């Protein structure tokens, strides 16, 4: 519905997912060790019914101010039934969630080039299938809840763009990797009662000429768990045999796999059908667990990708584009996970 300064959107959606998960032994040196050829050693079925309804109202309050209100209800019915290679026999999970996700914001168009905005939103996210099947099953994971506060400013003219965005994300029961591994060595996640992510996002863009543009953005963030108790794993000489895990109180500590700075650069060139771009990314140190120990971390890295393309026309063809991309142009040695 749209009239004068009011725009209202109503919608609903229903999605149903059904997925079979199974494993088969494709080959063994001695065939007689299997009950039958192509032996299936586990099978379970996951079903997820996901439905929602929403209403979004955008209202122009004055020539300079526009507000919006977004309300969403989301329901999920989730089951996993069967047996599993990690969870064993009798996997029977039945969960129902009902989420209410509101969002409200206000934008102030100061003049043609300057805009100021702010928003508050609530979001919920259910655990994934792996959060159920990869764990030790002493307790089921909980859904995450997020309160998000944002305040930003943008500038734009024909040659130059700039923006700054401040955010504070307050989590309850955020699911984070905790350094634990299950019986087959896969990383596990757990809910942490109280955590947050806060930071500043900066962006700059310049159209240097009609055929050359440079865009930059960077995020400085602080990502912390409050009053955290984690676990350190000790292994014997045979690393496959986990023999003990020790609980350690860490207090306020960095969240794993959450770099405090990420920066991106994109230089793009376009001239008479020829396109080229150089994309660069810097990622600061990331910790592999929630203790903030440098020995258990990924080093910072800086990586570049170069893309080249040429577009041309033929009498009976609208356009043909031929291109190539060189990933990791300078052959940087780096790790993104561990």
Left, alpha or beta for 179 (phi > 0: left; psi -120 to 50: alpha)? left
Residue 90: the pLDDT is: 75
More confident residue, 250 or 152: 152
Residue 236: the pLDDT is: 61
Residue 338 has pLDDT above 90, yes or no: no
Compute the mean pLDDT over every residue in the chain, rounded to the nearest whole number.
91
Angstrom distance (rounded) from CA 263 to CA 283: 7
Concatenating the DSSP letter of every residue in 207-223 gives EEETTEEEEEEEEEEEE
Q: Residue 35's pLDDT band (boundaries 50, 70, 90)?
A: confident
Q: What is the pLDDT of residues 234-273, one digit of tens each?
A: 666 555 555 567 888 999 999 999 999 999 999 999 999 9
Angstrom distance (rounded) from CA 13 to CA 294: 46
Residue 189: phi, psi to the nearest 5?
Answer: -115, 160
Helix (H) or strand (E) holding 308: strand 301-314
Mean pLDDT throughout 210-231?
94
Residue 84: the pLDDT is: 81
The pair of three-digit structure tokens given for residue 239, joined into one six-digit string: 């690393």
pTM exceeding the 0.85 threshold for the entire prediction: yes
Lowest mean pLDDT among 67-71, 184-188, 227-231: 184-188
Instruction: Report which DSSP code applies to 182.
Output: -
Residue 233 has pLDDT above 80, yes or no: no
Residue 138 has pLDDT above 70, yes or no: no
Lowest mean pLDDT among 85-94, 143-152, 155-164: 85-94
Percent of the chain with pLDDT over 70: 92
Q: What are the residues facing 78 on neighbouring strands?
A: 48, 95
- Cβ atoms of residues 334 and 300 within 8 Å: no
Mean pLDDT throughout 119-124?
98
More confident residue, 17 or 237: 17
Q: Of 120, 78, 113, give the one whose Cα is nearest residue 98.
A: 78
């Amino acid at each position: 519905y749209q009239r004068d300064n009011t725009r209202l959107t109503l919608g609903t959606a229903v999605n149903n997912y059904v997925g079979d998960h199974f494993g088969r032994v494709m080959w063994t040196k001695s065939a007689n060790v299997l009950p039958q050829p192509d032996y299936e050693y586990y099978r379970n079925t996951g079903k997820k019914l996901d439905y929602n309804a929403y209403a979004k109202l955008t209202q122009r309050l004055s020539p300079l101010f526009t507000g919006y209100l977004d309300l969403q209800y989301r329901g999920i019915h989730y089951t996993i039934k069967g047996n599993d290679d990690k969870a064993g026999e009798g996997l029977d999970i039945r969960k129902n969630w009902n989420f209410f996700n509101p969002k409200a914001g206000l934008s102030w168009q100061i003049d043609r080039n300057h805009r100021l905005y702010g928003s508050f939103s609530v979001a919920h996210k259910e655990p994934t299938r792996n959060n159920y099947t990869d764990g030790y099953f002493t307790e089921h994971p909980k859904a995450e809840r997020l309160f998000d506060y944002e305040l930003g400013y943008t500038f734009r003219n024909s040659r130059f763009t700039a923006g700054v965005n401040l955010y504070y994300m307050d989590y309850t029961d955020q699911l984070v990797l905790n350094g634990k591994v299950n019986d087959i060595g896969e990383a596990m996640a757990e809910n942490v009662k109280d955590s947050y992510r806060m930071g500043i996002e900066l962006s700059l863009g310049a159209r240097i000429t009609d055929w050359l543009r440079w865009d930059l953005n960077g995020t400085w963030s602080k990502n912390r768990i409050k009053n955290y108790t984690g676990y350190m794993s000790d292994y014997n000489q045979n690393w496959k045999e986990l023999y003990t895990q020790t609980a350690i109180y860490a207090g306020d500590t960095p969240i794993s796999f959450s770099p405090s700075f990420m920066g991106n650069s994109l230089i793009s060139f376009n001239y008479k059908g020829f396109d080229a771009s150089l994309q660069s990314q810097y990622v600061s140190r990331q910790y592999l667990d929630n203790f903030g120990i440098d020995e258990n971390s990924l080093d910072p890295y800086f990586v570049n990708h170069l893309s080249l393309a040429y577009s041309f026309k033929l009498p009976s063809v609208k356009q043909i584009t031929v291109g190539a991309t060189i990933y990791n142009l300078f052959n940087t040695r780096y790790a993104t996970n561990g």
